[in-house]
Chain A
Amino acid sequence: MKLNEKEVEILEILQKDARFEAADIAKMIGLAEAEVAETIRRLEEEKVIVHYATLVDWAKMDNFTGVTAMIDVKVTPKRGVGFDEVAERIYRFKEVSSVYLMSGVYDLSVTVEGKSMNEIARFVSEKLSTLESVVSTTTHFQLKKYKHDGMIYTSKQQDNRIVVSP
């Protein structure tokens, strides 16, 4: 699909902050509000805009025990369907939050979220590694989230500028 300059600009604005309203975006890029609203609707329909969500820093919550693991998965691709079939089998699990096909020494990078390490361990040993085409898995647990989707979670940056300057 070919996107024009204004469509790209709308996407860039929404990617930074999904809460911008069509009226404000219209002013920012010099289009009519109705045109922006219609463009967004169309981009949603065509799944260029896949979803709107919120970045949450769960570590701020007392007694939060959730864990995230990134698993390097080596698989045997199948004739005719390549990696897609096994990727689909993996991403259908609700515990799986992302699946990427990678270049390099392994094939799929799978992110799994669970309530505890045990839960993830069980997922890997019972669900993931038992899949027919999975050759091996290497599991890495995340210890701390510093930056995610371009946002620094523990940013100490403030506006240090003096209030009025020439």
Chain B
Amino acid sequence: MTVTKSYIAKSVENMRPSGIRKFFDLAATMEGVVSLGVGEPDFVTSWSVREAAISSLERGFTSYTANAGLIELRREIAHYMATRFQVHYSPQDEIIVTVGASQAIDIAMRAITDLGDEIIVVEPCFVSYAPLVELAGGKAVTIGTTGDSGFKLQPEQLEAAITSKTKAVLLCYPNNPTGTQLDKEDLELIADIVKKHDLLVIADEIYAELAYDQDHTSIASLDGMRERTILINGFSKGFAMTGWRLGFTCAPVEISGAMLKIHQYAMMCASTPAQYGAIEALQHGMTDVESMKKDYRQRRNYVVQSFNELGLDCHLPGGAFYVFPSIQSTGLTSEQFAEQLLLEEKVAVVPGSVFGKGGEGYIRCSYASSMAQLQEAVKRIGRFIEKKQTN
């Protein structure tokens, strides 16, 4: 019998595919591409961490762990979050080890969203936020930050987006794709509004370890915010462990309990060898994190100054490993710029427009590449811009 109807759920059918995909398909077919399009560290995970995971396999630790993750790991996470970011969570019932920060966002959304609830998403942002809100039955209400404010969320923008249906605000600082960081004073203004309207914050702080000019302030560390924050962090970026797929949530016991229900049915638990690797990362990996961070900081400085010299206006981002320069002086849209740059000079960047409101007119360039690659990329982009300006 032939199939006469589509089996695909409407919510999925209506979902637009990630804009990054298109560039990946194009770039993947080309030789000699210098890529600034990669959203992950160029460093390989520290050998001591890899060795710990190998050793766990040798010792036969191959079974499931507790749903929330190995208690030893949760204790290390609790200690790490307390000493590094001054936030305190019980390893027993307030921390869940997840399959990357991505799954953490998913369970957070599903745990708090009733049909029709509005979740405020601050753009430009990681491509998965709005789709995950919608999959959970919520409505993503987007705010576009602008280059003029260095892509910092302005309190009045937040205030204006809040309605009677607003349930939560999703924040990501240091930000992907802009690299923007909010300092304590910025966060306090946001927190005041959140408290005034009795909202929840989902704080994706996956880049917290990569803050270059001052230590990262977690919004959960502010007065009265712990009880209304779901904190998301993980090992991918700071510890260079993207492929391990290991993140975690920190949230008050009631919310953690709700998320754990979803996690236990949908995921059971995160990968066991990865969890053993993560214990080693937290116990002995901080020196490696510091050394990677030092390299990133130098590369950031190099790229920002080089771009500004080329006439691509670029604010100095406080964290993550992205710069988000304006390409408006070329008269091209961000998608045209990215496509022509790839075809003509074989440099892959991601058009800002794929990250939502406020992203048009900008490109995301990752500096998680060797200095040699960055120098080559700057050379090629310089040639490209010169050509565009003489045309």
Question: Which A residues lie at the B interface, using CB under 8 A?
Answer: 9, 12-13, 17, 20, 24, 27-30, 157, 159, 161-166
Contact = CB atoms under 8 A, between A and B. Distances in A.
Contacts of A24: 302, 371, 375
Interface string B2-29: 0000000000000000101001100110
B27 A163 contact: yes
A118 to B, nearest CB: 39
B33 interface: yes
B335 to A, nearest CB: 13
Contacts, number: 61
B160 interface: no
Contacts of A20: 371
A165 B38 contact: yes
B254 interface: no
A13 B294 CA distance: 11
Interface of B: 18, 20, 23-24, 27-28, 33, 35, 37-40, 42, 44, 126-128, 176, 294, 298-299, 301-302, 305-306, 348, 350, 371, 375
B298 A13 contact: yes
A163 B36 CA distance: 8
A161 B42 contact: yes
Contacts of B127: 166
Given A20-B371, A27-B305, A159-B42, A164 B298 contact: no
Point out which of A9, A20, A164 has the most chain B C-beta atoms below 10 A from its C-beta.
A164
Nearest to B338: A164
Contacts of A9: 298
29 contacts: A12-B294, A13-B298, A17-B371, A20-B371, A24-B371, A27-B302, A27-B306, A28-B301, A28-B371, A29-B301, A30-B301, A161-B38, A161-B40, A161-B42, A162-B24, A162-B38, A163-B27, A163-B33, A163-B348, A164-B20, A164-B27, A164-B348, A164-B350, A165-B39, A165-B40, A166-B20, A166-B126, A166-B128, A166-B176
Contacts of A29: 298, 301
A163 B28 contact: yes
Contact of A28 (B24, B28, B302, B348): B302
Given A28-B299, A28-B301, A165 B24 contact: yes
Contacts of A162: 24, 28, 38
